[in-house]
Chains A and B, each alone.
Chain A
Amino acid sequence: MRLELADWRGLLRPGDVLVAIGGLLVCGYALLALWQGGAPDGAVVRAGGKVVARVDLAAERTIEVPGPLGVTVIEIRPGRARVASDPGPRQYCVRQGWLTQAGAVAICAPNEVSLSLTGRAADYDSLNY
């Protein structure tokens, strides 16, 4: 029995190739769906401890939240969100930038506004480097 590549390829029928490709697609889908726990699916905005907005991260939008010091502007983009501007003195929540992980939180304490991302598997509140 000689083992030649072309010989083996001749054993494949057209549908076989499709089935194999389909199998790889299932594999890839499982990989993305199961091993990507950190992807956020929504954002929750709180002011003074109360939820003022609960939105998904599919569409772009801007949310203006009034607080004791003024208006905090929250920007929602597909798959991420950030505090665009805040009247607070130290701007921690603004400088935190875009939140992209499920469970990530930006807190504007002086203005009593917080932005958090929700998801299936929320691992950490925030990550700093």
Chain B
Amino acid sequence: MTPSTIELTPTAEDRRIARHAAAAIVLTVAEAAIPLPLPGVKPGLANIVTLVVLARWGWREAVWVSLLRVLAGSLLLGQFLAPGFFLSLSGALASLVSLGLAVRLPARWFGPVSHSILAAFAHIGAQLVVARLWLVPHDGVFYLTPVFALAAVVFGLINGLIAARLLRELQAAQRPAGDPMER
């Protein structure tokens, strides 16, 4: 093979993002195997990774990880550019915006659990709007709002608790930067 003329040197940040995104993609694919009673209600385990990255490395990296996860996850599941992909994407974008605002809340009072629940609500909100405008042009979509809202609270709480737990363990371990997901 001829050596490449273009030299791409990934920075430590690039590697970190790739590693976190990989973890999130694994969770997305694993989650797709779980049968769920209602379409649209998912635990969203990959968001645990987003929350951890947000707390440890900031919003910008969380955006990268989240969007890479949506893209690669949809490719792996054969959903790329399918309706489900756009629902995921709109949910992820809304979540990221809400996370960007939520991290500004005083950390003494609001932790990963708050971030998680707020992002979950932004997620279902955006998805409902997209579904109403594009997929199911009928107000009947909103009949499911209470179910989605309950799922947002429950899974937001659980994911947030897991993220908070992971963050505490990571802090206790005091691993060197760049290796946070390997345990």
Rounded to whole Å, the gap between the CB of B161 and the closest CB of chain A is: 6
Q: How many residues of A contact B (CB 8 A)?
A: 18
Asked if A11 meets B121 with Cβ closer than 8 Å, knowing A24-B153, A31-B146, the reply is: no
Q: Is the CB of A13 within 8 A of B113?
A: yes
**Residue interface bits B88-128, CB-to-A below 8 A is 1, else 0:** 00000000000000000110111111100110010000000
Q: Answer whether A23 and B153 are a contact pair too, CB < 8 Å, given A16-B160, A30-B145.
A: yes
Q: In the complex, A19 Cα to B160 Cα: how many Å?
A: 12
Q: Is the interface of A mostly helix, strand, loop or mixed?
A: helix
- B30 on the interface (CB 8 Å rule)? no
Number of interface residues of B (CB under 8 A): 28
Q: C-beta contact mask, B134-171 vs A, less than 8 Å → 1, else 0?
A: 00000000110110011011001100110011001100
Task: Find out whether the CB atom of B146 lies under 8 angstroms from the CB atom of A30.
Answer: yes
Task: Please report A residues at the B interface, Cβ cutoff 8 Å.
Answer: 1, 8, 11-16, 19-20, 23-24, 26-27, 30-31, 34-35
**Given known contacts A13-B108, A14-B109, what 20 new A-B pairs fall within 8 Å (CB)?**
A8-B165, A11-B112, A11-B113, A12-B111, A12-B164, A13-B113, A15-B105, A15-B106, A15-B109, A15-B114, A19-B110, A19-B117, A20-B117, A20-B153, A23-B152, A24-B153, A26-B121, A26-B149, A27-B149, A34-B143
